[in-house]
Amino acid sequence: MKSYDSIVVGSGIAGLTTARILSQHGKKVLLLEKASILGGSLARFRVEGIPYDVGFHFTGGFNDEGTGVLDSILSLLGVRDRIHPIYFPREANHRMIFPKSGFEYIVPCGTEIVRQQLKRDFPHDAAGLDRYFTRFMEVIDNTPTLEVSGFDEFPAPLEADRVTLQSVLDECISDPIVQTVLAGLCMCYGTPPNEASFSTHCRACYGMQESLARVEDGGDAFVDALVDVLRNDRVDIRTRCTIAKCEDVKQRKVGRFVLSDGSEVSAETCIFTIHPHSILSVLPEENTSKAFRERVRDFQATNGFFTLYGTVDEMKEKGPATLASILPDTDLNAMLTCNSSEPVDGPMMVLRSPEKGSDGPVNTVTALEVAFPQTIEHWAASKLKRRAPEYYEYKRLRTESLVSRMKQFIPECRDMHVIDSASTLTYRDYLHNPDGSAYGIRQKMGQFNLFGRLPLVNIYAAGQSAILPGVLGAMTSSFFVCRRILGHEVFREYLSGKTCVSSARS
Ligand SMILES: Cc1cc2nc3c(=O)[nH]c(=O)nc-3n(C[C@H](O)[C@H](O)[C@H](O)COP(=O)(O)OP(=O)(O)OC[C@H]3O[C@@H](n4cnc5c(N)ncnc54)[C@H](O)[C@@H]3O)c2cc1C
């Protein structure tokens, strides 16, 4: 039986980050991935030679000076020079379109600039906007984990952890459009304003609000860079492989891991970076309490997306990427909750991005419409590429609806040519995620997520459902879990940049 210091389960950004931090410290690591390719939601796919991202379209955390939290994280991991951010235009970070009222609002970059612009454009809410942004910045100033130096300690609870985003909006803002402009980025973590705490919203959005960037070669840039250093660190990587069973549990410690290929390994620690419901299915029932299992089962999924991938001919030469949202309503609580088993026109984010196709530069369009698995649950038992004709009819109708709205409200998308589409079932099956959600579990106020050490002492959980979703949230969770495993002193030294980043094993 081969023995490891750590097994990391899942090769999404959280798994790759965890494996890298541990291998940087000389640990012998086994990385297990259920899919045939590495990278999880970050791996790109190609159609007709055109690259498309699945779960990485933009992020906060980079800045021009190279001092953003993501700059620092990637530097610590030794891959910053492999990742090239491309910033969205600062004056037009996000265009929000409200077809019902015929209103359109362009949100710029920079929290203070947004505050001043909103006060100018909505003077009736000026005083409330000041109150909102003061509270917003209080959360940011009291969240040390928004910088790498703060990864040393988990943030102390704040008053803003105990109030919902919606209650703060209601206290400060009377205009529903202003409320939606302020809360709209909750579509990037999938929890409605009446369920998310105010602090969750501030932490999830601050980076994107300060500077929004995509990355050259998209999610593949992260995956390729991290997989290269892991191979160099001689991390054992196995695809199409997972943990089938945890055996020999003594004093709450798993002694032996039976893998899906029949082999067995032992490890001092095992870190799951997969969906909490999938973690639960592997943990031995007799070693976890009923209360624990019920808590995990009760976690609710975030929304997923119905996605269109296409191209536009306009802007032949390289232009900047742009982000627009079409919001059928201002009520984000209703729009992020499944209220009907019939598909409805949901809010959608449309990203136009210049990419390198195999035949030269191409302008891609990715349109992500909020969607829920409940609307396609009649096909839940079906498998990829073997679904009923009615499912393809559902996809055709959704495609028609999205294209018609994009052509009507986003002039640059008038000549959009659709290349492919994905439903929540597609995401479920490609990403090996049990519910097709985009962001794992909802980050509800007062909820205890699966994060850090679990009831079995050598089993840990990280990943997008642990603290916050998104590339940054998932990576941050990996740092915290590694801190626990490596010990605070070693970790503090690592954060200071003093640890030699090349593997002690090579
Ligand atoms: C459509 C969509 C758009 C998004 N857009 C953005 C965006 O623009 N910006 C952003 O920051 N975030 C975005 N996200 C969210 C972001 O992709 C995720 O939060 C993040 O990538 C999650 O990383 P992870 O490592 O936690 O999980 P994942 O990427 O889901 O990785 C988990 C891995 O574990 C594997 N796995 C599952 N079960 C097992 C098992 N039993 N054994 C072994 N392996 C297993 C999976 O195959 C997968 O490779 C988006 C997500 C989606 C779906």
* Residues 8-48 pLDDT 10s: 999 999 999 999 999 999 999 999 999 999 999 999 999 99
Please indicate whether residue 352, judged by its CB atom, sits closer than 6 Å to ligand 1.
Answer: no
Answer yes or no: is pLDDT of 55 > 80.
yes
Please indicate whether residue 441, judged by its CB atom, sits closer than 6 Å to ligand 1.
Answer: no
Please indicate whether residue 274, judged by its CB atom, sits closer than 6 Å to ligand 1.
Answer: yes
Distance 432 CA to ligand 1 centre (A): 9
Distance 40 CA to ligand 1 centre (A): 5
The mean per-residue pLDDT over the stretch 416-443 comes to: 96
Answer yes or no: is pLDDT of 504 > 50.
no
- pLDDT-above-90 percentage for the chain: 91
> Could you identify the atom of ligand 1 that is nearest to the CA of residue 472?
11
- Nearest CA, atom 22, ligand 1: 464
Answer yes or no: is pLDDT of 117 > 70.
yes
* Residue 190 to residues 103, 183, 185, Cα–Cα distance (Å): 24, 11, 9
- Nearest CA, atom 51, ligand 1: 55
- Please write the tens of the pLDDT for every residue from 327-344: 999 999 999 998 888 889
* Residue 266 to residues 21, 30, 164, 269, Cα–Cα distance (Å): 20, 10, 43, 9
Cα 31 to Cα 13: distance, rounded to the nearest angstrom = 12
Q: Which of 41, 74, 236, 283, when mutated, tests ligand 1's pocket best, judged by the most ligand atoms within 8 Å of its CB?
A: 41
Average pLDDT, the chain: 94
Answer yes or no: is pLDDT of 257 > 70.
yes
Cα 71 to Cα 58: distance, rounded to the nearest angstrom = 14
Cα 45 to Cα 233: distance, rounded to the nearest angstrom = 27
Burial 377-415 (b: 16+ CB within 10 A, else e): eebeeeeeeebeeebeebbeebbebbbebbeebbebbee
Rg for the chain (alpha carbons), in Å?
22
For position 500, what pLDDT does the model report?
55
Please indicate whether residue 474, judged by its CB atom, sits closer than 6 Å to ligand 1.
Answer: yes
> Could you identify the atom of ligand 1 that is nearest to the CA of residue 14?
25
- Please write the tens of the pLDDT for every residue from 384-397: 888 999 999 999 99
Please state whether the predicted TM-score (pTM) of the whole model is above 0.75: yes
Strand partners, 233: none
Please indicate whether residue 33, judged by its CB atom, sits closer than 6 Å to ligand 1.
Answer: yes
Query: Which residues have C-beta within 8 Å of that of residue 258, sequence separation ≥ 6?
Result: 243, 244, 245, 246, 247, 264
Answer yes or no: is pLDDT of 59 > 80.
yes
Beta carbons within 10 angstroms of residue 146's beta carbon: 23
- Detail the DSSP E strand segments found in 10-56: 29-32, 45-47, 50-52
Cα 161 to Cα 24: distance, rounded to the nearest angstrom = 34
319 — pLDDT class (breaks 50, 70, 90): low
- Please write the tens of the pLDDT for every residue from 161-202: 999 999 999 999 999 999 999 999 999 999 999 999 999 999
Distance 41 CA to ligand 1 centre (A): 4
- Nearest CA, atom 4, ligand 1: 55
For position 343, what pLDDT does the model report?
86
Domain ranges of the chain: 2-85+217-299+440-495, 110-211, 303-438
Distance 431 CA to ligand 1 centre (A): 7
For position 503, what pLDDT does the model report?
45
Q: Which of 11, 56, 478, 479, when mutated, tests ligand 1's pocket best, judged by the most ligand atoms within 8 Å of its CB?
A: 56
Cα 270 to Cα 273: distance, rounded to the nearest angstrom = 10
Report angle CA 303, 308, 309 to the nearest 5 degrees: 130
Distance 173 CA to ligand 1 centre (A): 34
Please indicate whether residue 85, judged by its CB atom, sits closer than 6 Å to ligand 1.
Answer: no
- Detail the DSSP E strand segments found in 45-88: 45-47, 50-52, 85-87
CATH architecture label of 2-85+217-299+440-495: 3-Layer(bba) Sandwich (3.50)
Please indicate whether residue 10, judged by its CB atom, sits closer than 6 Å to ligand 1.
Answer: yes
